Amino acid sequence: MSKKYALLVDLRRCVGCTSCQVSCKMENAVPIGQFRSKVDIADTGEYPKPKRYFFPKICNQCDEAPCIMPCPVKGATYKREDGVVMVNRDLCIGCGRCVGACPYGARFMHPHIPVKNDPKPYAKNVHEVAGKKAKDLRVVDKCDYCSHRLAEGIEEPACVRNCVGKARTFGDLNDSDSSVSKLKASVKTTYWHPEYGTKPRTVFIAPDEKVFSAADSQINK
Amino acid sequence: MQVSRRVFLKYAGALSGLAALNKTGLVSLKHLSPAEAEAMQTSMGKYEVKYTADAMCPAECGMEMWVKDGKIAKIYGNKAVPMNDGIACAKGASGQQLVYSPYRLKYPMIRVGERGSGKFKRVTWDEAIDHIGLKLTDIKKKYGAESVIMDCGDVTDRDQYYRLFFAYGTPNTTEHGAICDVPRRHGPRLMVGGKRWEPDIMRPQLVRQSDGSLKKDYTYKSKLIVYNGWNPFVATRIFYENRGTVGAKVENGCKVVVIDPSYSNTATAADMWLAPRAGTDGDLFGAMLRYILENDNQNDPNKKYIDWSFKKYSTGWDDFEAAFKSWWGKKDPINGLSYFSLDWTADRTGLSKAQIEELSHLFGITKPAALVWGMQSPGHHYNGYCASIIGVALNVITGNFDAPGGVIDCELVKADKGGSATGKQFKKKKVKRNIDGKEVEGEVEHLHMDLFGSKYPAAWDDAVADYPNAFKEGVDVRYGPFRGHHYPIKAYILRTGNTVLTGSAPWKWKDAILAKDAKGNYKLELNVFIDTLNLESALYADVILPEASYAERQSLSDIYPSHQVIYNRDAVIKPLHECKKPTDIMNMLAKKLNELGDSDLKAADFWEKYKSEEDFVNEMLAPAPGRVNVGTPLPYPKYPEGYKLIGTPDSLEKGEVTIDNAKKVVKGKSVTVEWLRNNHGVAIWPMSWRRYKKHNADEPNKAFPNTSTKLIEFKFDWKDGGKRYGGYKSYNEKIEKAGGEVPLGLKEIGFTKFPETFFWFETKWNPHTNPEYKKYAKDYPFQLICGRVHHSMSGTQMIPWLGEIKTEGTWQPMNKEFEADVPEAMPMGDEPMKSMKKKFKANTYSVGSIWMNTDDAKKLGLKSGDLAVVENPLKKSTKGKVFVSGGIRPGIIKIGFATGGRFSPGMGPAYKSKDYTPSHNDLVDPDVLSPIMGFPGYADMIVKVKKA
Amino acid sequence: MINALKDELSLYNLLRQIFLKEPSKYLIHDMNKIELTSGNQENSETKGPGEDMAGYGLRFMVEAIRKNENNLNEWIEDLAIEYARLFIGPQNPPAVPYASFYLSESHSLMTDETIDVRKQYLEAGMAVKELYSIPDDHIGIELEFIYYLTQKTIELFEQEQRDEAARLFEIRGNFLSNHMAQWVPLFVERILNSTGEDFYKGAAYMLRGAVEL
């Protein structure tokens, strides 16, 4: 049976330190000003009952991923059998349609990685690339659960590896003995905007669900 | 082969005659033999994993770094180290941006303009060491070695510098701890001989099981943690308190109380947040103690607060209690109420009586519990000593000291290290000084500027904030054999510190460093700055020495665990640029001084003894773990209880030891760097609890804690059977031998000697508790407090990844639009990117901000992002943008420590925001130095705020 | 062609000396002897650099030396301070002299771009003496690399080892146009924008000329 990867974030244990955000940048050389993984912090409430929310955001690796359908190049963005939603930098023509299609803002155009695939054959139907050359366009980038680590057999994305509050658990949902399966089975979990019907793989334990609305902006605004 | 693309060089002919061009040898490049080239070719691109520690911050977590092509490629936590159990914080993970910062110090430099003008030229190491060596030789001849201060900053690599300067002959060395949280640590040091009290939440712990095996135990036992002015989620000196606090909550139902005028990140995990007025920690602790004493009822399970068995393991409680109770009969001049009563405490702290009662009851009845206090509360107040002492008493009488899930004195239980490498033995050297025409002999250490000086003879952590006064006026020795000796301070060597910015008030430091004598010469003749980074203090230095960064030098972790753990901070990469390691700097300077005729610096003590830094670290490791075999479960049941343990965990486990019954020492194989490298960098010995009692009987083991009686001491100076005991004993003896001359610090609070048991005095600049300041209350309605922002400390603000983080109300994305050099893709280029000036949009990058309450801001017409001026009664002011929220008590203003006003251009983006970010230090009263140990009252100040 | 390369050899030798460290007395006194015969009457400040940017830069430097002829030793000290201010610090140096600063994502030192430079040195059988300590892509070291390749090309050419000469010449050309030309103009611009010292303005022009030759 194939793996079914999932990431569980236990907000009871999030200490708001942003190690996940920086560890991701360290691991994946994410450019300044853009994020694959980001912690939103919101101060609300009035004295003496203030509230501060920490909301660590990351790609949901949705099972019904809204970013895949709009892609005009077959295979440029796709869902692997293990559930990770990937970008193929050799195929992506940098039209940016998937960026707009993701309701969580989990994607961005990587300012420093030019497109390799010649956009010309697509230009007729994809006005975003019409008249542009590959080197003038930039590929899309997003969280892929550190797929380069997965490929080496390290089933632990950098954000999980370094999480200060031990709030993150990563693993295989098809393995009922995995810590992520056990935790998911024992504690009530929820998703970021389940009403979108995207069926996310990234799961939250959120004792106060206001966290989603209090800090409700996209990852890359 | 064609050369076709060139334009004729008009002056080429002119060049060809130049003699300089006869230099044809290579300066920076070399030829490789084919074998060398091949070896390099095959090693390129491969990862090598190294274990080290992160000295970018004092938590010094264990790290795992992946090195490729001689360069740090990945940074994670070391999974074998229980301090951080494999994790790394944002700052830890950003290490590459510091190590590879283009703004690092790279070469030795010598000042060419006036101090502070920022004009330097590059020199060779030989020239720099020559310059310093000549100056030090001259100063020693003219004024004595004691005229030199060595300020070592970072704790981990201080030992090389200590050794060098102790051998040179000055006792005046210090480290960063002296301006960290001295009053906070006072109670533990005085009463148990320790330092920092922390909750028992470091997990995993290595615990001896009943079958004799050792288990890595992750179980939490704590039921209540009270954090007073301590914010481990943001100021992480004790790193396990992050995961430990939330872990104990989720896994063990532990309750968390946070007492802090501001809603800290730690408060987000609290079941109860109490926001008292600033500087009333001791008041609240006193109220808790009085409540517990008055309401304890051993027959009522709901009021059985005190665990009276503590009396078996302590001495002096009756005296302490009597002295404490004597205050109950006194009326406070500021409110006419009885000290430590609920009414009195409510009036002073601004909390309600019900809140104080609830807290006192909760702490008394919940077991196990831990009450801990941080650097942001007792640590930074003039009277923090009182709170620290009461805090110790509260934990001890409720039975929580060293209980499983209770509170642990980490200093008493961490592994010993340093040993003879530190060079303490050199301080015992006999020296002579001429005082009023008479030759007097004593030891080097009797010349110490604080311990024998006129102001703070109990300053066991050094009064660094008093250095500016010493630069200008010199030192008066009033105690010990050299009484009557006066000497000037002529050299200040600062390493990995930034005292000009953070050593109290920057203006006071600048003034002292720039002070000149009648002839127009600087009074402080030599000012040296040693660091990896270009901080504000460098601008005032005469010589700058670039030290290897934390990843380029080797030493040992300096940490606060719940039992003995030690790890190697390995050198992960070679020193970059021309930076040098502390061991090399030590040896170079020692050799130079020796060449210049100073026979106190000997080859056998330095350059012949330590051929590499590994030699030095091995000597540092020799005494480890160096703690006694005590507690339950007994760490090593096969060895006698109370014996000191030395040696590697495996040699102790296997019984490969010698036992010295006379000295009570069990000695296995010494821990070495090599042993550590073979064991994931770390050595761990077993945990135990209640280490003050025998493991099999309810009586003291007389081996722990580290006091004069080996008991917990509630008395500080007393006589018994002709012998004298107590933590203040030696200081009072000094005073008596000096004919009763009262040190200036004690004089300030009306004491004539160090007190024998419980004592109390008021803090400074607090109109709510000290009548002297009541007159300022109307014009200066705000109390100013400060706190650390973990990732934006003095030395880490140039790291761009950390500028993308916001923290509480003191580090917010409130930048003005600015331009900075960042790499961007070039649409037409073949290269993926080029550096371009990029505009950072307003409010996208975090800078220091001023945190204030919503209602207060409304009254002043301020909203978040407005520029405001904060001014104190000394007419000093600072400017910054306000962050307005409900997360701070009305009447309180909070600014991060060293987050703003950064005037060193080496700070990158932080420098660009210096004109609209606040400097808390600019508002510190440099004359408020706490009376016992001369620590700056960083958080004792009142201010007014107006729109700029 | 070899004569042209020999001219360039002098140029890169001078430039590496100027950018590796602050100028020695020896170098300045020596440069003071340069005769600017063909352009003596022209004023370089009003006349633009034209096509010969390197020559223009040299003029600038020599004229700066002439202006300070009467207090040369003090001025050499000033040059050392200016060198430190521009390229070293301790305060934020305005013209960071490492390629990776201009080419890398992280805008820092010892990046993958630095490793690329290391690989190119290795291709020519060379490495930095202080490997792993001194970043390989310091302007002075890159200039020394070009200097070395030029010298070696001439030598091999004269020894009739044409293939190896051609190989090194090609490495040289690639390094100049694919690497140095990508960042040196940005570096030069920073020098020109931040120094008031004609000597370093001249050095910057000369450097630009040498990279764009």
Q: What's the pLDDT at B836?
A: 47
B:86-125 residues touching chain C, CB 8 A cutoff: 96-97, 100-107, 109, 112, 118-122
Structural contact between residues B870 and B766, judged by C-beta atoms closer than 8 angstroms: no
C3 Cβ under 8 Å from any chain B Cβ: no
By C-alpha distance, which of B587, B509, B582 is closest to B924?
B509
- Quick one: A131 and A84 in the same domain? yes
C106 Cβ under 8 Å from any chain A Cβ: yes
Q: What's the pLDDT at B803?
A: 87
CATH number of the structural domain B109-180+418-558+565-615: 3.40.50.740
The secondary element (H helix, E strand) that includes residue B68 is strand B62-68
Structural contact between residues B186 and B520, judged by C-beta atoms closer than 8 angstroms: no
* Domains detected in chain C: 2-212 (1.10.3480.10)
Q: What's the pLDDT at B176?
A: 85
Instruction: Among A141, A157, A181, give the residue marking a domain's end.
Output: A141
> Which of B242, B824, B887 faces A15 most closely, judged by CB atoms?
B242
- Quick one: A117 and A162 in the same domain? no
Maximum CA extent, chain B: 106
CA separation, residue B37 to residues A116, B149, C125, C130, C170 (Å): 33, 48, 6, 15, 20
Q: Which chains touch B (3 or more CB pairs under 8 A)?
A: A, C
> What residues does each domain of chain B span?
109-180+418-558+565-615, 193-413, 625-670, 716-748, 773-947
pLDDT for B6 beyond 80: no
- Quick one: A160 and A180 in the same domain? yes
- Residue of chain B with shortest Cα separation from C15: B21
Record: contact A166-B87, CB cut-off 8 A? yes
Q: What is the pLDDT along chain A (221 residues), one digit of tens a residue?
A: 789 999 999 999 999 999 999 999 889 888 888 999 999 999 999 999 999 999 999 999 999 999 999 999 999 999 999 999 999 999 999 999 999 999 999 999 998 788 999 999 999 999 999 999 998 899 999 999 999 999 988 999 999 999 999 999 999 999 999 999 999 999 999 999 999 999 999 999 999 999 998 877 788 87
By C-alpha distance, which of A220, A221, A204 is closest to A54?
A204
A183 Cβ under 8 Å from any chain B Cβ: no
Look at residue A92 and tell me if it is in a domain: yes
Q: Mind listing the pLDDT tens digit for each residue in B300-326?
A: 999 999 999 999 999 999 999 999 999
Regions in chain C scoring below 70 on pLDDT: 1, 37-50, 105-106, 213
Q: What is the pTM of this model?
A: 0.89
The rounded mean pLDDT for chain B is 93
Q: What's the pLDDT at C35?
A: 80
Look at residue A84 and tell me if it is in a domain: yes
Rounded Cα–Cα distance for residues B512 and B472 (Å): 6
Who contacts A44 (Cβ-Cβ below 8 Å, separation ≥6)?
Answer: A50, A51, A52, A53, A214, B886
Q: What's the pLDDT at B9?
A: 56
CATH number of the domain encompassing residue A106:
3.30.70.20
> Which of C13, C92, C134 faces B911 most closely, judged by CB atoms?
C92
- Quick one: A105 and A166 in the same domain? no
- Which segments within B456-552 are labelled E, that is strand? 475-476, 486-487, 491-495, 526-531, 543-546
Q: Mind listing the pLDDT tens digit for each residue in B501-510?
A: 999 999 999 9
Which chain C residues contact residue A138 at CB under 8 A?
none
pLDDT for B832 beyond 60: no
CATH number of the structural domain B773-947: 2.40.40.20
By C-alpha distance, which of B258, B91, B229 is closest to A164?
B91
pLDDT for B842 beyond 60: yes
Q: What's the pLDDT at B323?
A: 98
Among B93-97, B526-530, B560-564, B923-927, which is the least confidently predicted range?
B93-97
- Quick one: A120 and A22 in the same domain? no
Instruction: Among A141, A170, A194, give the residue marking a domain's end.
Output: A141
A33 Cβ under 8 Å from any chain B Cβ: yes
Task: Give the domain extent around A182.
Answer: 5-63+145-214
A221 Cβ under 8 Å from any chain B Cβ: no
Look at residue A71 and tell me if it is in a domain: no
By C-alpha distance, which of B643, B584, B569, B799 is closest to B63?
B569
3-state SS track over A53-94: EEEEEECCCCCCCCCCCCCCCCCCEEECCCCCEEECCCCCCC
B42 Cβ under 8 Å from any chain C Cβ: no
- Quick one: A149 and A210 in the same domain? yes
Look at residue A201 and tell me if it is in a domain: yes
CATH of B193-413, one of 3.40.630.30, 3.30.70.660, 1.10.10.10, 3.40.228.10: 3.40.228.10
Mean pLDDT confidence for B594-602: 98
Q: What's the pLDDT at B826?
A: 32
- Quick one: A59 and A149 in the same domain? yes
Q: Mind listing the pLDDT tens digit for each residue in A103-160?
A: 999 999 998 788 999 999 999 999 999 999 998 899 999 999 999 999 988 999 999 9
Mean pLDDT confidence for B158-163: 96
Neighbour tally for B910: CB within 10 Å? 29
- Quick one: A94 and A49 in the same domain? no
Q: Mind listing the pLDDT tens digit for each residue in B233-249?
A: 997 789 999 999 999 99
* Confidence grade of residue B892 (pLDDT, cut at 50, 70, 90): very high
pLDDT for B827 beyond 50: no
- Quick one: A115 and A99 in the same domain? yes
Q: Mind listing the pLDDT tens digit for each residue in B7-33?
A: 445 556 667 677 777 777 888 898 888
Q: Are strands A108-114 and A138-141 parallel, antiparallel or unpaired?
A: antiparallel
Record: contact B823-C1, CB cut-off 8 A? no
* Confidence grade of residue B822 (pLDDT, cut at 50, 70, 90): very low
- Quick one: A90 and A48 in the same domain? no
Q: What's the pLDDT at C4?
A: 81
Q: What's the pLDDT at A100?
A: 93
C134 Cβ under 8 Å from any chain B Cβ: yes
CA separation, residue B798 to residues B260, B744, C190 (Å): 29, 41, 20
Q: What's the pLDDT at B24?
A: 77
Look at residue A168 and tell me if it is in a domain: yes
- Quick one: A207 and A154 in the same domain? yes
Helix axes B582-595, B158-168, angle to 10 degrees: 10
Neighbour tally for A125: CB within 10 Å? 10
pLDDT for B825 beyond 50: no
Q: Mind listing the pLDDT tens digit for each residue in B78-105?
A: 999 999 999 999 999 998 888 887 778 9
Q: What's the pLDDT at B8?
A: 42
- Quick one: A210 and A110 in the same domain? no
Look at residue A12 and tell me if it is in a domain: yes
